[in-house]
Amino acid sequence: MATLNKKIGSGVLWNLASMFMSRGASTLFMLFLARLLTPEAFGLIAMVTVVFELSNTFVNSGLETALVRSKAVSRADLNTVFLSNLVLSGVVYIALFLAAPIVADFYEQTELAALIQVMGLVVFINASTVVQTAVLTRNMNFRAQMKANTLGVVASGVLAVAAAFAGWGVWSLVVQMLSSAFVSAIILWLTSSWRPRWQFSTESFTRLFRFGRNLLIERSLEVLFQNSYVMVIGRLFSTEITGLYFFARKVSNLIAQQLTGAVQRATFPALATLQDDNVALLHKYRQIMQLIMFIIAPIMGLLAGLAHPLINVLFGEKWLGAIPYLQVLCMIGMLYPIHALNISLLNVKGRSDLVLKVGLLKKSVNLTLLFLAIPYGVFGIVLSQLIGSVLALIPNTYFSARLVNYNLLTQLTDAIIPVMSALLAALLVGYLYSVSHLSAFWGLMCGSLLGGSVYILATFLFKAEGLKFFLNKFKEKFLMRRYI
C-alpha cells in the first residue's frame, strides 16, 4: 500500500505541475487573446468546438482507457490501437470536410466552413498520440506528458498572440489549436520509446473495443450533451452572446475540469490495481474526494465571488457580460469532482456499461431541462445546467454505493465542509466588494486574501479531512527536517 501511495502521490504531483504550468500559460495567453479579440471570435470557435470534440472521441473510441486499465498489454494490442486510430482519423476528417458547409448553414455563419476544414487537421495529430499517451500513463510517466503539454501550450500561445496582433482575428485561435497539438505530439513521440509496427490483431481490437465501445457511445453523447448548450445558444442568440457564454465556460473549466482531470489521470492506473479490493478502493476514493474537494471548492467559490473584479482586471470591460454565466458555472464546477470520481470508479471496476447507462439517464434529464429553459434566455439555460448537475448526483452515486458502498450520503459528508466553507467565503467577499469603493484591482487582491483566510478558518473549525491531511503532511516534513 505504501508503494501505491507513493505512485499515486508522485503521479498527482506531476499532473498538478503539468496543469499549473500548462494551464497557467494557457490562462496567460487567453488573457492576451481576450483583450485582442472580440466575443464574436470566441463565439465562432464555440460553434465548431462540438465538431472537433466529437471527432476526437470517435478517433479514440475508448481504446486509450482500455489500454490503461488492462492488467497487461501486448505489442499487438498497441499496434492494433495505433492503426485503428489512424484509419478512423482519416474517415472522420473526410466526414468533417464534407459536413463543414452544413454546419455553417445551421449557424448561418459562412466563415465556419473554412474554419472546420482547416481545424479538422488536428484529428490526425491527436490520433497519432493516443497510444503514446497510454504507454506513458501505464508507466506512470507523467513528467513526459507535463513537458509535452506545457511546451505545446507555450508555443501555440506565442503563435496565436502573434497572429492576433497581425490581425488574423478568429484564425489566430485556429493557429493555437493546431500548433498546440502538433508540438505536444512531437514531444510525446520523442519521449516515448514505443514505435509502431504494421500489425493488426482482430483479437486485440475485439477485446479492447468490447470495453471501449461503451465509453465511445457515452463520451460521444457527453460531447453532444455538453455542447448542446452552445449549439442552442449559437442557433437562437447572437454570436456575441455565444462567445460570452463560451468564454465563461472556458474560464470555469480551466480550474474544475482540468484539476480534477489531472488527479484522475494520475490515480486511475494505480487504482486500477485495486479493482478487486473493494475495501482498499473505497478508502482511496474517499481520500481523493476529500482532498480534491478541499482544493477545488474554495477556488471555484472565490472565482464566483470575485468574478466582477477578476474579469474587469484581466480581460477588460467587453467581457463583463460573461459574469452571471461564470458565477453559475462556478457552482457547477464545485460539484464536478463528485461526478467525475464516480465515473472513474465505474471505469476502474471495468463497468463501462454502467457508465453508459448513467450517462443516458443524466442526459435525458438535462436535455429536458435545457429545452424547458429556452424561453428564459441564456441565463435560464445556465441555471438549468446547475439544476441538472445537482439532480445528477443521484444516479452518479447509485452504482458506486452498490459496487464499493460509497453512497450519496457518505460522499456528501466528504464534500460538505469544503463546499459550505467556500460558499461562505464567496458570499462574504462578493458582498464586501459590492458595497466597498475599492478599485477592481484592489478589490481582487483584498478579496482573495480575505476569502482564503475565511475558508481556511472555517475548514479548521469544522475539522475538514482535507485540511487535516495537509497539516499532517506538513508536520511530517517539518519533524523529519528537525531530526535529520
Q: Which amino acid is at 333?
A: G
Chain position carrying cell 454565466: 325
Dihedral sign of CA atoms 63, 69, 70, 72 in order = positive
Look-up of cell digits 509496427: 197
Q: What is the per-residue pLDDT across 14-58, written as a single tens digit (0 to 9) for each?
A: 555 555 554 555 555 666 677 777 788 878 877 777 776 766 676
Across 77-91, 268-282, 414-428, least confident range: 268-282
Q: Is the pLDDT assigned to residue 280 strictly greater than 90?
A: no
Q: What is the pLDDT of residue 268?
A: 67
Reported as a pLDDT band with limits 50, 70 and 90, residue 309 is very high
pLDDT at residue 329 tops 80: yes
Quote the pLDDT of residue 64.
73
Report the pLDDT averaged over residues 409-421: 92
For residue 262, name the pLDDT band (cuts at 50, 70, 90). Answer: low
Residue 290's φ and ψ, nearest 5 degrees, are -65, -40
- Top pLDDT among 234 and 222 is at 234
- pLDDT recorded at residue 388: 92
Average pLDDT value for residue range 281-301: 88
Q: Which of 37, 42, 30 is nearest to 246 (CA)?
A: 42
Q: Please state the rounded mean pLDDT for residues 365-374.
A: 92
Look at residue 328 and tell me whether its pLDDT is greater than 90: yes
Whole-number pLDDT of residue 301:
94
Q: How far is CA 283 from the centre of its chain?
A: 24
pTM: 0.75
CA distance 310 to 443: 9
Instruction: Give the model confidence (pLDDT) of 444-460 as tens digits.
Output: 999 999 999 999 999 99
Q: What is the pLDDT of residue 452?
A: 93
pLDDT at 380: 94
92: cell is: 472522420
What length is written for the chain? 484
pLDDT in tens, 418-437: 999 999 999 999 999 999 88
Work out the pLDDT band at 123, boundaries 50, 70, 90: confident
Residue range 141-174, pLDDT digits in tens: 767 777 787 788 888 888 888 888 888 888 888 8
Identify the CA nearest to 85 among candidates 49, 56, 120: 56
Give CA 343 to chain center in angstroms.
14
Rounded mean pLDDT, 200-222:
76
Contact 15, 262 (CB under 8 A): yes
